[in-house]
Amino acid sequence: MKSSTPYSFSATLNLPIKEADAVVRTALKEEGFGVISEIDMAAKLKEKLDVDYPPSIILGACNPNLAYQAMQYNPDVALALPCNIVLREEDESTIVSALLPSVALKPFEGLQVQESSCTAEESLSRVFDALTSS
């Protein structure tokens, strides 16, 4: 079962991060999201600060239809795109989390933007349901 906070969805997968990454990408694709960016945080922190950090990846996920719809009403919505999906390995499992679109888009004016955020949130909720049911 997925868990949530007032600002995020979360799920724990009993998989190492590389296997979890593939599962997450598949679940995102099923809901119309594509991964348009990827940041290996452990590698970047090692490169920039010479510190060791547990495996952690940030996937920039975007549903182009929803993004376009929201940006038609308020171009500043692009400031909150893409949706970040964070994978972090802990104790041989991977914790997957994402900021709720309604939280990310709350500052932006326009009923249509808020409607788009609700649609995106419903879709992202299904992604997390799929992650916890597999």
CATH number at residue 31: 3.30.310.70
pTM confidence score: 0.92
Which stretches of 31-83 are DSSP H helices? 41-49, 64-73
Which stretches of the chain are DSSP H helices? 17-30, 41-49, 64-73, 101-104, 111-133
Domain that residue 95 falls in: 3-133
Task: Give the containing element (helix H, strand E) for 11.
Answer: strand 8-13
Measured between alpha carbons, how far apart are the two ends of the chain, in Å?
Answer: 10
3-class secondary-structure state, position 10: strand
Total number of domains in the chain: 1
- Predicted confidence (pLDDT) per residue in 40-77, tens digit: 999 999 999 999 999 999 999 999 999 999 999 999 99
